[in-house]
Copies of this chain bind each other. A is one copy, B any other.
């Protein structure tokens, strides 16, 4: 990636992993960690993820070629407002948020030249959080969705795609709205289902016979609640549509069970298994 200084705002799991991954792949520029709480950025510095730790945007944004927001979505408005006074024509701004329409909308509201903002969603993570959980190999072989708008500067798109390719990701480009609709269906809805399956067990029992199937189906329920609340709120309209589609399917299955309709149940299970197995076996996946 062609940059002399990269500032990572927020040095939790993703931000610190990005720093470690860049260094592991020979990035020879400077990596600055910028955070609201200096203590967290210092923790990231201690792991070697960033060269400099600061809580002062004026000390790093003017000298940076790229600023990457790697903090919860609810903090984006504040950070854009802090960056704005130090923005310059060579600066490219990006993020790692799990929803993509809200970041670009917020960027348009607060940045003087929002066409130098290009959002990205590196699809990598783990259940543990914080800079100590950071991993230079976190991104390798995983997809990164880059979501330029029609007026986004070419240089911004190229810089952002180059960043994530450098740390080993395969880059996929799509409109922010399409990204959000798709992640609602295959990421936020599964998360919601996992959470509610646990809630049902907590309220009605069954833990004593819960087995590996329950563990894997509910894995997402152990992910970070404040971060996940942000994501659900930022993407609530597409998520509500996904919930409605799911409810519709659930009602159909309930009806088939109520009527002991063996053929209908079997058809649902077979269609679903085939779709999942085809996806898993897709060589282009």
Interface residues of A (CB under 8 A from B): 123, 142-143, 145, 172, 174, 179, 181-187, 189-211, 213-223, 225-226, 228-229, 232-233, 236, 239-240, 242-247, 249-250, 253-254, 257-258, 260, 262, 265-266, 268-273, 275-277, 279-280
Residue of B nearest to A249 (CB): B196
A123 vs B123: C-alpha distance in the bound complex, in angstroms? 33
- In contact, B239 and A198 (Cβ under 8 angstroms): no
- CB-defined contacts of A193 to chain B, threshold 8 Å: 193, 197, 217
- In contact, A243 and B250 (Cβ under 8 angstroms): yes
- In contact, A209 and B189 (Cβ under 8 angstroms): no
Residue of B nearest to A263 (CB): B229
A209 vs B276: C-alpha distance in the bound complex, in angstroms? 14
A15 vs B272: C-alpha distance in the bound complex, in angstroms? 26
A120 vs B54: C-alpha distance in the bound complex, in angstroms? 61
- CB-defined contacts of A276 to chain B, threshold 8 Å: 198, 218, 221-222
| Given the contacts A209-B123, A246-B250, A185 and B199 also touching, CB distance less than 8 Å | no
A243 vs B239: C-alpha distance in the bound complex, in angstroms? 20
| Given the contacts A201-B185, A232-B265, A247-B247, A217 and B216 also touching, CB distance less than 8 Å | yes
- In contact, A214 and B200 (Cβ under 8 angstroms): no
- In contact, A199 and B123 (Cβ under 8 angstroms): no
- CB-defined contacts of A232 to chain B, threshold 8 Å: 257, 265
The CB with the most chain B CB atoms within 10 A, among A210, A249, A269, is that of: A269
- The distance from the CB of A135 to the nearest CB of chain B, in whole angstroms, is 14
